Structure 1
């Protein structure tokens, strides 16, 4: 970034820091020195997203991250505060359902498949010696062989998972997101939620109170899910005639307490959303501390209740997992549908023609998050069942609903294949259309069909990014319809697709059997590939950087819908940048060009919004390869829409943007400007030269999203911005060169 092997850290730590060239470390103390240009600084934050190997484990939190994105994708709206709050509430409830789904999947594996089915079946327990002490047949009736005690012991697994998620959320908060915004540098508070972007509000990058509340609620929800899985099995047995008279009463009391606990958890999630208009430093210490502890105490009582000796109780069949997973799937589907209605109402109040899917991007992404959660839960259940049941007939296996959900994966993959073919055809059409344009962009050059074809193909592939909303819309709609069909099939027949198709046409029965077998194999394979990718990223730094690039978008946003999502690096990075800009301009009175590439341009804009108006007027923006309008403006219109970007352009001194037609990420801002005809400079040539020239004796590469600073236009625009800044400011002493993402981003 600094183009010098000798660099020094000016401020910061090993996670994120500001660097300068060694020769420029004390530039402020030598104002009389003659310089050929500005003093460049580089803000490096890559360790926030792709530092050590443990970041690869964040892949397991992918559904939580995706549903958190849905919160920030709401449409722009004017004067609809209650509807906006309802939108946030629905997304938070969808996030809560994902926590319950994850813990329920862990209960299905540990309690149902291992402790209930396999340990209770001699043929299965004989193949797995580690289950021998739990089996009533292998261990000759040991103390742990009673069904309730087996379930109580197996409950350690989902309980440990819940505690791990709580610990990771607490630990990552203190490491990444506990940075307070600097006092006195915040922008003015907006007078209406729909007229200005929320990124300039004082409390936007400090959501500590909400994350703590949600963490307590989700932890309690996970513990209550484990308690319900254990207690419901014991209570169902106690309702059978001939048992002790006291146990049914205890079962009813525990079930009532679990229901009350569930109501309290939902109330906590619904009660309060984000507070952004002020720095919310209040604490809900009692709630945060007492709610998980109360759920843990209730779980302990449930385990004691389940471990009571019940004569004649034997484990047979499955635990009632179909009802649990069916209820979760139904609730998620209803939440997504209602969320779509609310998003449509918001979009109608202030239509934005550039918004993805006409304002329905949030519901579509929430649907994909639920689908990811279903695939992960179904995948691990299918693979554990196959591992435990070597013969394929010794245990009943996972719930029927999970088999139905696996069976709809092949049709969904066929749809994705069709969409892939459509994209390939569209790319071919765009490449053909670009042939003539490429030749006209390099007049006087000798034609080279191969060179022209490569440039045209690069432009066509970059243009496919704009088709992303259509792909997401079709995929999420198909997922919703296929999921509804799977739920209806499982509840209506209580049999697997192959069993339900018996007695019909041979073609139908064969297709059902094939879809069931292929879907079960694919869902397990997908989960294995998912874990394998995470393991590779744990050991391979380059793979970890790739994940870090994906996380750049997913973890830019604060955890507003799910506390167990990967931590928000911007709650550390934006205050870092704001502090540096505000303190440097205050101490030197200097002028600043904030230069941001790719995701760095998003951080640069976010930091500029957090400055006070006087400091913001001393700042100019130079963005290149920027997704601010092309991606963020379309997918997050309430925060990066045309009004928000237009206001930012008015409040900084000047803004120039560079982009290429071969860049699949960066694009134009589409804003008028007073630095010239517009904020955007005309699309840069890529490659810089079509053939061999005196300046480029070897073929110039197609750069796409990288190496914008190598283009002469970069130095030209930077010089133009520095000379434009108000003449009453001192001479240019620094260029804040913040955020360049990890290599290749």
Structure 2
């Protein structure tokens, strides 16, 4: 980034830091040597996104990350609008259902399939040394169904405990960076409609919010385990009463309803905490949580311990038959998620109608509900895939749920979800085919105009023209992403509703599911179920394999890091178990560096950012007070500020917010190319006539071979903007516009943009 192998750390640590060339380390002490040029400084945050190999395993938290994104896709609306609070609440409730779904899936694998079905069946437990001591034929202390379940409950509890620990560990490392103090009146010159929440002092400080949500979600996970154990205990006691008539009275019979009532009360308190937990962004919130919030997880653990004791009590003659009760819970979770998503769509529609939006807002403001639905679908696929694959593995060569199979297998809903998955993939393949056709059509149309982008003296080459036109056409697919998201979301909603209805009908009338109908229908249904089951399991294995490869391979780890660059830019406002927000460390870092440097040296600076670095640079400038912000110029290139963030997150990066940012800065320039699939123009028209966009830049720099370019010039696309002469010219223009500091000449501090994983952003000069 700095163009020199000899660099020196100026401030920061191994996670994120600012660097300079060794020769420039003491530039402020030698201002006379830097009167004619700025001093470059680079901020590198790569270890926040891809530095730790174990961080790649966070891929299994993908549904939580996607749900968190839905919170920030809220349509722009007047501040304080009532629908904003409803929207945020609905997203938090959807996130809570994902935690319950994860806990239920863990219980399905550990409690139902392992401890209840397989360990209680001789044909399944035979040959499995790790299950022999649980088998009734062994007649050991752990052979009783209640004790088997009590022992197996350790596994889902460890899953919840691991997520709590991971969230707490990242919470103390990421959400603890406080913003710098600001001078008053930082937004007094910005019209109210052009202010954005990203300029609020407490936006990047979410310690209290994440702590409260972490307590609530941990409680929900533990209570889910307790509820499954209580349902199993009720079935065991019911079987005894209808059978031998023993163990149905006394303390044992009364303990179950009492514990169930306590679980319901704690669940209601958990929902209440999530209901009342909202972001406080006006100022950093350092207040401690109430005792009831901190005590909720411990109360849930206490209830779980009592439930384990209750379940492990001696029940002579008890045995496990069929699946565990509560299979309908998966259907209930799916229905609840569908209703919440529909309510979210209605709320988003209300918000969208309150403000006149431009036509570039993704899905006309429905991006949040669509992404929330996809989060639920991914959560269902991962949970169902894990249960299906584990059931296929544990019962040997048989197929769970079929005739002569040793175990009934997972709930029917998971089989129906597996059946509709191939249909969804066919829809995705169809959309991809339409996208390929679009690329061919656009390439032919663009090919006629490609020679006009270059100097008239360069001779056109048909093969070269097709390649450049193809690159431009492929880059334009980014703008068609809403079509893919909309198609997948609509099909997911329809197929998900069909799966729930089909599972309900199958459970009510199992004989009708196989009666009647042509043989080809039964064959197609069986094929779809088998193929979908394998695809669900393959999805789980693919994520695990990608995480394992990323742990060992640095290049693969960087690829995973690119995903986190986009998905974890936003704070954890909806789900505390989502991967941590690196911007809650990076934005305060940049803000502190710019604020302290300009105040200490009375300096001027140009902060430049490439790709995701441009988003961090803009977010950091928003956090500056008005005096400091007026001394800063912004240079972005390959920037997704308008093309991605402005379209998908209109409430925070829409045209009014970007206009307000430009109004309070010294200047802002943006470089873009037609061949860039990520970056694009800012598309702002400012009242003072100053232009922001510089482009489209020529790419490649030369069309054909020439004396200056004897070999074909590379098509740069999203990278290497600094190789274009326009970059140096625009940067020099910004530096000259800032001018020298009175009485000190001109010195500079700057951060230089690079690829998102290589660092960020900004050239500053003073």
Gap change, CA 1:584 and 1:268, over 3 Å in 2: same
471, 489, 492: which is aligned to 1:458? 471
User: 1:341-360 counterparts in 2 under 5 A?
Assistant: 341-352=346-357, 353-360=359-366
Distance in 1 separating the partners of 2:489 and 2:554: 33
User: 1:275-290 counterparts in 2 under 5 A?
Assistant: 275-284=280-289, 286-290=291-295
Q: Is 2:136 the counterpart of 1:132?
A: no
Partners of 1:403 and 1:496 within 8 A in 2: no
Distance in 2 separating the partners of 1:192 and 1:268: 35
User: 1:279-678 counterparts in 2 under 5 A?
Assistant: 279-284=284-289, 286-352=291-357, 353-392=359-398, 393-442=405-454, 443-494=456-507, 500-673=513-686, 678=691
Partners of 2:213 and 2:277 within 8 A in 1: no
Distance in 2 separating the partners of 1:497 and 1:707: 62
Gap change, CA 1:571 and 1:187, over 3 Å in 2: farther
Deviations 1:219-246 (A, max 9, x none): 0000000101111110233245323312
Partners of 1:44 and 1:738 within 8 A in 2: no
149, 152, 155: which is aligned to 1:151? 149
**Unpaired stretches in structure 1, ≥5 consecutive residues:** none
Distance in 2 separating the partners of 1:192 and 1:376: 46
Distance in 2 separating the partners of 1:737 and 1:693: 34
> What is the aligned partner in structure 1 of residue 97 from structure 2?
97
SS at match of 1:129: coil
Distance in 2 separating the partners of 1:174 and 1:267: 25
Distance in 2 separating the partners of 1:210 and 1:52: 25
Gap change, CA 1:294 and 1:193, over 3 Å in 2: farther
709, 714, 718: which is aligned to 2:727? 714
How many residue pairs get aligned? The number is: 743
Q: Normalization by structure 1: what TM-score?
A: 0.97
User: 1:7-18 counterparts in 2 under 5 A?
Assistant: 7-18=7-18
Distance in 2 separating the partners of 1:500 and 1:456: 53
Distance in 2 separating the partners of 1:121 and 1:36: 83
> What is the aligned partner in structure 1 of residue 746 from structure 2?
732
Gap change, CA 1:149 and 1:552, over 3 Å in 2: same
Gap change, CA 1:132 and 1:376, over 3 Å in 2: same
Distance in 2 separating the partners of 1:231 and 1:416: 41
Deviations 1:179-222 (A, max 9, x none): 11011268746999965210000110001111000000000000
Deviation, structure 1 residue 543: 0.5
Deviations 1:651-708 (A, max 9, x none): 1100000001000000000012489752101200000000112222211000000000
> What is the aligned partner in structure 2 of residue 208 from structure 1?
207
Partners of 1:603 and 1:739 within 8 A in 2: no
Distance in 1 separating the partners of 2:511 and 2:623: 59
Partners of 2:659 and 2:686 within 8 A in 1: no
Deviation, structure 1 residue 275: 0.3
Gap change, CA 1:178 and 1:733, over 3 Å in 2: same
**Unpaired stretches in structure 2, ≥5 consecutive residues:** 399-404, 761-766
Deviations 1:362-402 (A, max 9, x none): 00000000011001101110111011011311111111000
Distance in 2 separating the partners of 1:297 and 1:646: 54
Of the structure 1 ranges 686-695 and 209-218, higher mean CA displacement relative to structure 2 is found in 686-695
Partners of 2:35 and 2:745 within 8 A in 1: no
270, 273, 279: which is aligned to 2:275? 270
Deviation, structure 1 residue 514: 1.2
Gap change, CA 1:727 and 1:3, over 3 Å in 2: closer
Deviations 1:520-565 (A, max 9, x none): 1111111111111111011111101011111011111000000000
> What is the aligned partner in structure 2 of residue 245 from structure 1?
249
Partners of 2:636 and 2:670 within 8 A in 1: yes
Distance in 2 separating the partners of 1:259 and 1:91: 22
Partners of 2:193 and 2:656 within 8 A in 1: no
SS at match of 1:670: coil
Gap change, CA 1:675 and 1:192, over 3 Å in 2: closer
Deviation, structure 1 residue 316: 1.0
Distance in 2 separating the partners of 1:742 and 1:497: 54
Partners of 1:595 and 1:737 within 8 A in 2: yes
User: 1:33-72 counterparts in 2 under 5 A?
Assistant: 33=33, 36-72=36-72
Distance in 1 separating the partners of 2:436 and 2:419: 27
Distance in 1 separating the partners of 2:585 and 2:696: 33
Gap change, CA 1:306 and 1:739, over 3 Å in 2: farther
Q: Normalization by structure 2: what TM-score?
A: 0.94
Partners of 1:558 and 1:567 within 8 A in 2: yes
Partners of 2:226 and 2:304 within 8 A in 1: yes
SS at match of 1:37: coil
Gap change, CA 1:21 and 1:239, over 3 Å in 2: same
RMSD across aligned C-alpha pairs, in angstroms? 1.9
SS at match of 2:211: helix
Of the structure 1 ranges 449-458 and 488-497, higher mean CA displacement relative to structure 2 is found in 488-497
Partners of 2:40 and 2:752 within 8 A in 1: no
Partners of 1:188 and 1:201 within 8 A in 2: no
Distance in 2 separating the partners of 1:383 and 1:198: 45
Partners of 1:184 and 1:612 within 8 A in 2: yes
Distance in 2 separating the partners of 1:724 and 1:397: 71
Partners of 1:74 and 1:362 within 8 A in 2: yes
Gap change, CA 1:499 and 1:389, over 3 Å in 2: farther
Partners of 2:42 and 2:759 within 8 A in 1: no
> What is the aligned partner in structure 2 of residue 224 from structure 1?
223
> What is the aligned partner in structure 2 of residue 115 from structure 1?
115
Of the structure 1 ranges 724-733 and 241-250, higher mean CA displacement relative to structure 2 is found in 724-733
